[in-house]
Amino acid sequence: MDIFYPKKRRIMQLLILAVLTVFFAITPAAQADMVQVGEPIVTPGWDLSLPSIAETYKDYFMIGNVMSTYQTTDGELTAMYKHHYNLVTAENDMKPQYLSPVKGLYYFINADTLIRWAEANNIKVHGHTLVWHSQSAAWLTTGADGNPLTRAEARANMEEYITNVAGHFRGKVISWDVVNEAFADGSGLPADWKDALRKDSPWYLAYENGADQSKGESGADYIYDAFVFTRLTDPEATLFYNDYNETDSWKREAMAMMAEELNAKWKTDKRNTQPDRLLIEVLGMQAHYWTASLNVYAVEAAITRFIKAGVKVAVTELDIPYGSWTNQHSTPLTEEEELLQARLYAQLFKVYKQYAPHIERVSFWGKADSQSWRAKGSPLLFDRTFAAKQAYYAVIDPEGFLRANP
């Protein structure tokens, strides 16, 4: 019989203390993520027997998603993509940073691989994006000393870049996000849309450098130039302005005012050979929402404001992570949370269907939660095992879903 000496007991106590310390040092979120004893290990797999999203919406609008070139060799992913989507946006591969990292060099190999994949699978391609303050190429706008180029230099670079890039992809893309995210965060309702622009964008700064204010020139002029260069290079492509927080009343107003003004200007521009055609044809709603703050009435208000501006509307980057910007979620969703998220997807698609004649497409920004740029909030229709979430069923039949889950 073992006698429990005080010394041995002290060692046991220390051991238990050490185990408990390690256990509580792991965050509750990480504990929740650990595989539970008895929980089956699921190999992710796509279920192709589910109704196709694109087929469900074939009489309403195109349904898109994102791809990266490295994913194009994945046969199962490709089969799933063809099943659910008829449009693709390159998640990163067609951004200036990757297409032309230094002046004079154009690197099209990755984007071309993605485009060949799309062609082989009968999927249309949306070009994303030509002019943006982020993931851009410094040579376009900024000197070696870090200072903005002059207006004339930046304009020449923009023309060179757009002529090369939109020229290369001419006939291969159906549309372009010509300018992305030009408006600042948290402005008020502007009297002039130009006041609400992101003044620290390297494009704005360069165009401001040498602008003749007496002629009404300003940093804002880069936007019109970008659309005109793209139209002249690829007249077949539909041209988009794309932005996020488009549901904020000031931003939807600024976006609409910009489209109205630049479209009016284009009407009398000597370079315009199609007087009945708009320059900015589509306002893209990125639709990067949060479950905590998404207001479907504000989505509808943005859609109706854009229609009033005379343009078409596109939902370009839809995802709805659980939580909010300041309170992000970090575990897989509970059933209740999944349901709340799904109801929002159902409400959104109900609105999209209602305005379908004006809506050009709805594109999601990610295929499965684990692959999302905002994976933490499990924002998409398919979970990390690629199984359909409640949100998928909500999208497939929004009215039925809301009736069953009021």
- Applying CB under 6 A, the residues found at the interface with ligand XIL are 91-92, 180, 286, 317, 373
Task: Determine which one of 177, 208, 234, 243 is catalytic.
Answer: 243
Nearest approach in angstroms of CB 133 to ligand XIL is 11
Q: Which is nearer to ligand XIL, 169 or 401 (CB)?
A: 169
Between 136 and 157, name the residue whose CB sits nearer to ligand XIL: 136
Q: Shortest distance, CB of residue 242 to ligand XIL, whole angstroms?
A: 6
Candidates 91, 93, 181, 337; catalytic one: 181
Minimum Å gap between C-beta 91 and ligand XIL is 5
Q: Is 243 among the residues known to form the active site?
A: yes
Q: Which of 221, 281, 300, 317 is catalytic?
A: 317
State how far the alpha carbon of 351 is from the alpha carbons of 125, 128, 348, 358, in Å.
Answer: 25, 25, 5, 11
CB 346 within 8 A of CB 401: yes
**Cβ closer to ligand XIL: 67 or 256?**
67
Active site residue 181: yes
Assess whether 317 carries a catalytic annotation: yes
User: Among all residues, whose Cβ is closest to ligand XIL?
Assistant: 373
User: Minimal distance in Å, beta carbon 71 to ligand XIL?
Assistant: 12
Residue 317 or 360: the one with the smaller Cβ distance to ligand XIL is 317
158-to-108, 149, 154, 219, 229 alpha-carbon distances in Å: 17, 12, 6, 14, 8
Name the residue nearer to ligand XIL (CB basis): 286 or 341: 286
Q: How far is the CB of 340 from ligand XIL (least distance, A)?
A: 23
Tokens standing for residue 214? 């007496």
Which backbone phi and psi does 222 adopt, to 5 degrees? -65, -25
Active site residues: 181, 243, 317
